[in-house]
Amino acid sequence: MPAQPKTTRILFVLDASGSMRAPWEGEQRWDVAKRLLSKMVDSLNAYPNLELALRAYGHQHENKENNCEDSKLEVAFAPKNAGAIKARLKTIEPKGNTPITYSLLQSAQDFPVDKSARNVLILITDGLESCKGDPCATALALQRKRVFLKPFVIGIGAEREFGKQLECLGQYYNAADVKTFRSILNDVVTQTLAKTTVSVNLTDEQGRPVESNVNMTFVNNVTELPEYNYVHWRDAQGKPDVLDIDALQSYDLVINTVPPVRQANLPIRPGRANVLTYKTPQGTLWLQGPGISPNPYGTVQAVVRAQGNPATVVALPFGARQKLLAGTYEVELLTLPRQLRRITVKQGQETAVTYEAPGILNIVSDLKGYGSIYRLGQDEQQTWVHNLPETSSKVNLPMQPGAYRLVFRTKTATGSQFTDVRTFTIRPGQTTSVSIFGR
C-alpha cells in the first residue's frame, strides 16, 4: 500500500504590536502584512493535505500596559480555512508589546498531536523580543521536541537592522521593502510545499560510482538529532536511488564508512532533484590469524587507528574482515607483547595483517613476589612487557617468539640485591620453562 501523504500544517505567527502601525511605503506595516497574508492564504486554500492557522501577538493590550502574555491563537488549524483567517485579520488592530518567546511557547499547543505531520511556523515581525525571554533558546527547544521544523522568520521594515538577533531563531529573511516581503512570503510557502529529493553518489578516488551498501545518516544540524537513516543502494545501472528529504531543515550528512565521512550543511535546494557526490574509496583489512589450533591466546583483538590520530577507528578480533576508507592506518595487535603495524588500505584491495604463532612461557616456581618480563632488543635494550601476579610466580603465558628477560624478587627478600634475573627465548609452538629462586 502506498504511504498516506503527510499533512503539512503552517502556523502564521503575526506581529500585531504597536510598532506595526509605522508607515511603510505609504501604508501601515500592518496593512501591508494583512493584505499580503490574506492573498497568500487565499492561494493556498485549494491545496490538499494542507492546514493553516493564525496566531497574533501584541493586539489585545495597549503598549503602556506592558503585557507580556498578549498572544492568542486567532484561527485554529483546519483544511480550507482561508476565509476564517482573512475575516479575523480584518478585525485585529496593532497595539502593544512584542512577546515573541511567549508566543513560541504557546504555539506548541496550537499544533495538533500528530507525529506524522510536517509542522511549519512562519514568524512575521518588525521588532525584537520586548519581554523577558530567550526566543532563540525556546525555538531550539521546541525543534528538539519536534513541535515544529526549523522556523521561517521574516523581518519587515527597512529601518530596523535586527536580523542578526533573529537569525538564531530559524531561516531569517530581511524584507526591507514591500516587493521583497511579497516575494519572500511566496518563496517560503513554495519551499514548504515543493517536493525535494536527494540522491547520494558514493565514488572511488577517480570519481567512479562503485561504492554502496553504506549506512548514511541525515542529522538535523540545529537540533543535532538524526532525521533519516538509510543504507545506500544502487540499481543495476549503478545509479543511486532517490530519497525524499524535507528541505525545510538543514542537515549534516554522516556517511558511516569506517572511519565516517561527514559533510556539514548539505547544499540541498528546495523543490529540486539534488545529486550529492562524495568520494568514499574503500579497501578491506583482513586480520589473518597464524593458523594454529588451538591458539594459546584464544581470540586476539586488534585496535585500528588512522595514522597520527590517537582515536580508535575500530576494534576487531582476528579472523575478521573490515572495510576501511582508503588511507594509512596503525593496527595495534593485542598479543603479548603488543605489536604495532602501519598499513596502507587501497581502493578495492585487501590488506592482510598477521602475527607469528606464539610459544608458551612456563614459570615452574611457585613464589610470592614482584616480577616483570622485558622484551630484549638489539644491543640488550629492554622494553617492559608484563608484570607477574604478586600471589604466585607460577604461570603459563602465551607470548610472541623472541628474547626476553625475567626480573623477580620474592616478597620475603630482605633487600634489592636478592633480585633474580633470568634470560630466556620463546619459540613458535614451543614451551619454554624457567625456574626462579627465592633468596
Collapsing DSSP to helix, strand or coil, 57 comes out as strand
Cell (9 digits) for 245? 528529504
pLDDT of residue 223: 87
The position carrying cell 537540533 is: 223
How many C-beta atoms lie closer than 10 Å to residue 155's C-beta? 25
**C-alpha pair distances (Å), 176 with each of 15, 180, 181, 412:** 16, 7, 7, 89
pLDDT of residue 2: 47
What CA–CA distance (Å, rounded) separates 150 from 103?
16
What CA–CA distance (Å, rounded) separates 302 from 104?
52
What CA–CA distance (Å, rounded) separates 407 from 200?
60
Through-space distance between the first and last CA atoms of the chain, rounded to whole angstroms = 84
Give 58's contacts (C-beta < 8 A, 6+ positions apart): 15, 16, 17, 18, 20, 70, 71, 94, 95, 96, 97, 98, 99
Name residue 344's beta-bridge partners.
328
Sign of CA dihedral 396, 397, 398, 402: negative
Rounded to 10°, the helix 135-144/100-110 angle is 20
Tens of each residue's pLDDT in the chain, 439 residues: 446 678 999 999 999 999 899 999 999 999 999 999 999 999 999 899 999 999 999 998 887 888 899 999 999 999 999 999 999 999 999 998 899 999 999 999 999 999 889 999 999 998 888 788 899 999 999 999 999 999 999 999 755 567 777 888 899 999 988 999 999 999 999 889 988 999 999 999 999 999 999 999 999 998 899 999 999 999 999 999 999 899 989 999 999 999 999 999 999 999 899 999 999 999 999 999 999 999 999 999 999 999 999 999 999 999 999 999 999 999 999 999 999 999 999 999 999 999 999 999 999 999 999 999 999 998 889 999 999 999 999 999 999 999 999 999 999 999 999 999 999 999 999 999 999 986 6
Phi, psi of 46 (to 5 degrees): -90, -5
Omega prior to 259 cis, within 30 of 0: yes
**Torsion of Cα atoms, 312 then 316 then 320 then 326, to 10°:** 0
pLDDT of residue 1: 44
pLDDT of residue 63: 76
Q: What is the pTM of this model?
A: 0.81
- Burial string for 59-84 (b: 16+ CB within 10 Å, else e) reads bbeebeeebbebbebbbebeeebbeb
Omega prior to 294 cis, within 30 of 0: yes
Collapsing DSSP to helix, strand or coil, 46 comes out as coil
**Torsion of Cα atoms, 184 then 188 then 193 then 194, to 10°:** 70
pLDDT of residue 356: 97
Omega prior to 337 cis, within 30 of 0: yes
Query: What DSSP line would sit under 269-336, residue for residue?
Result: PTTSEEEEEEE--EEEEEE-----SS-TT-SPEEEEEETT--SEEEEEETT-EEEEESEEEEEEE-SS
